């Protein structure tokens, strides 16, 4: 059975790049009738925070992404120790005693000679006596994985044929000097134990993949997972999106009023040969194909996302938004304003317009004459959507105004806004008393 995983680190709040990785894994699993694992890569105890962990759960729930199982790396330390001991016994994990300054000096010397800054494996030549002397001096080793000769090659489901030569890569550190394991190591052990069949992640992990293939084969004889590396999303200026860039964090977009369905519909097809469309998760899964993704970096376009959000909002019925509208908002109100909203948060403005108060707008003498005619011809209630047209005809006859000179001062006087929902629909929501009061205060 197909089994994939989304493995975020709780070191910050999720941004759209994270959401895309989670979504693509989710849709791939659902399209294949497979298993979606949520795994927290929480070994970074210095930067990890409980609120970030909770934020991951909250954001994924908000997007509508459900998972079939969960795990946390912080619960698996014994397993990592076991795997490390097996690699040590096989001669693939070796101790290194250089400190960060010494390693930096080595890298600088290689770069000066225009050579790749690859670790020289000096620690492999230490004699038992030299190692004992280093430990007696209080040095604690970090542990590196000895890469194989040659290269790692794979057929990437997005990027095509890929090869990384190990001569261009340093033996990776798997265990820090404080005995804490690093991502490269824990991720492979987890993927082996969880029997992950497909690893779908960002293109920035391509070199990691080469190293992890070698490590995977050192740990188990099981078949390798298939790999798919998605080109990274860029921002409007072509730069890499950042987890700390609040303008594209899921929390910020949710607060701004962007619909979760808009984000999933947009990200599911970002970078593919299909245009974004207002589709549900089930519809997206039914049409999902990993081969649709291209090899170039797609740009995150807020305008395109907003246009999609608008389409989705305009099709939502009252039951879908009732709990998120201002208190007292009715279905009649929602149907009146939804066609003019870019984001749901804008509904609050229109609720204030129809049920609260507005600041008196500045009007010209000509506009005041139209408003005076409107007050003089104001019809009695009851009102409905058919009230507006004959009333405006009376105002036109009384004032001689027409076109924009007629409609603009009326909209401005009654709503305080230059544009918005149809006045015929808003008028019954405003009611006779409120309309009369707003007109009266502009006629002096």
User: What is the per-residue pLDDT across 303-347, written as a single tens digit (0 to 9) for each?
Assistant: 999 999 999 999 999 999 999 999 999 999 999 999 999 999 999
Q: Are residues 224 and 301 in the same domain?
A: yes
pTM of the entire predicted model: 0.88
Beta-bridge partners for 175: 143, 181
pLDDT the model gives residue 237 = 59
pLDDT the model gives residue 246 = 41
Q: What is the CATH number of the domain that holds 295?
A: 3.40.50.620
Q: Are residues 215 and 295 in the same domain?
A: yes
Query: Residue 236 — pLDDT band, cuts 50, 70, 90?
Result: low
pLDDT the model gives residue 215 = 97
Q: What φ, ψ does residue 117 adopt, rounded to 5°?
A: -75, 65
User: What is the per-residue pLDDT across 33-69, written as a single tens digit (0 to 9) for each?
Assistant: 999 999 999 988 888 899 999 999 999 999 999 999 9
Q: Is residue 150 part of a domain?
A: no
- Which domain-ending residue is among 353, 374, 407? 353
Q: Are residues 344 and 368 in the same domain?
A: no
pLDDT the model gives residue 333 = 97
Q: Are residues 302 and 238 in the same domain?
A: yes
Q: Are residues 271 and 363 in the same domain?
A: no
Q: Are residues 362 and 225 in the same domain?
A: no
Cis ω before 382 (30° cut-off from 0): yes
Q: Are residues 374 and 295 in the same domain?
A: no
Q: What is the CATH number of the domain that holds 387?
A: 1.10.10.350
**Contact (CB, 8 A) for 267 and 16:** yes
Q: Are residues 188 and 284 in the same domain?
A: yes
The CB density around residue 380, as the number of other CB atoms within 10 Å, is: 7
Average pLDDT over residues 89-115: 93
If one counts the domains in the chain, the total is 3
Q: Are residues 324 and 412 in the same domain?
A: no
The candidate with the shortest Cα–Cα distance to 439, out of 390, 369, 388, is: 369
Residue range(s) defining the domain that contains residue 361: 357-440
Q: Are residues 62 and 189 in the same domain?
A: yes
Beta strands 198-202 and 226-230, pairing class: parallel
Q: Is residue 39 part of a domain?
A: yes
User: What is the per-residue pLDDT across 166-179, written as a single tens digit (0 to 9) for each?
Assistant: 999 999 999 999 99
Q: Are residues 391 and 405 in the same domain?
A: yes
User: What is the per-residue pLDDT across 120-159, written as a single tens digit (0 to 9) for each?
Assistant: 999 999 999 999 998 898 899 999 999 999 999 999 999 9
């Amino acid at each position: 059975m197909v089994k994939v995983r989304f493995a975020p680190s709780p070191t910050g709040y999720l941004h759209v790049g994270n959401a895309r990785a989670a979504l693509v894994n989710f849709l791939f699993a659902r399209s294949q009738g497979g298993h979606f694992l949520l795994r927290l890569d929480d070994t970074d105890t210095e930067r990890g925070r409980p609120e970030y962990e909770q934020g991951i759960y909250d954001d994924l729930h908000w997007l509508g992404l459900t998972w079939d199982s969960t795990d946390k790396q912080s619960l698996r330390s014994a397993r990592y120790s076991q795997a490390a001991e097996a690699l040590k016994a096989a001669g693939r994990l070796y101790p290194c005693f250089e400190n960060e300054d010494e390693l930096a000096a080595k890298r600088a010397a290689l770069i000066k000679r225009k050579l790749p800054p690859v670790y020289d494996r000096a620690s492999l030549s230490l004699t038992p006596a030299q190692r004992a002397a280093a430990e007696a001096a209080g040095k604690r080793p970090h542990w590196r994985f000895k890469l194989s000769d040659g290269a790692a090659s794979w057929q990437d489901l997005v990027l095509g044929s890929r090869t990384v030569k190990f001569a261009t890569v340093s033996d990776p550190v798997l265990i820090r000097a404080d005995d804490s394991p690093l991502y490269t190591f824990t991720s492979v052990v987890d993927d082996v134990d969880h029997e992950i069949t497909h690893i779908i992640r960002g293109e920035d992990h391509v070199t990691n993949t080469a190293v992890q293939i070698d490590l995977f084969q050192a740990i188990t004889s099981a078949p390798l997972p298939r790999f798919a590396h998605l080109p990274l999303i860029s921002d409007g200026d072509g730069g890499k999106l950042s987890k700390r860039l609040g303008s594209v964090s899921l929390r910020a977009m949710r607060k701004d009023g962007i619909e979760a369905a808009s984000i999933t519909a947009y990200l599911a097809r970002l970078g593919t040969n299909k245009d974004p469309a207002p589709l549900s998760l089930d519809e997206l899964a039914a049409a999902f194909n990993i081969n649709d993704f291209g090899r170039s970096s797609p740009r995150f376009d807020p305008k395109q996302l907003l246009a999609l959000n608008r389409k989705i909002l305009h099709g939502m019925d009252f039951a879908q938004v009732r709990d998120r509208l201002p208190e007292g908002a009715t279905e009649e109100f929602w149907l009146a304003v939804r066609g003019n909203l870019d984001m749901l948060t804008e509904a609050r403005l229109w609720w204030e317009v129809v049920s609260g108060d507005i600041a008196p707008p500045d009007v010209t003498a000509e506009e005041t004459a139209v408003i005076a005619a409107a007050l003089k011809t104001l019809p009695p209630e009851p009102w409905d959507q058919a009230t507006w047209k004959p009333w405006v005809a009376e105002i036109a006859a009384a004032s001689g105004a027409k076109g924009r000179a007629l409609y603009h001062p009326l909209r401005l006087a009654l709503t305080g806004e230059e544009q918005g929902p149809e006045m015929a629909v808003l008028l019954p929501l405003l009611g006779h008393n409120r309309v009369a009061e707003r007109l009266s205060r502009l006629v002096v």
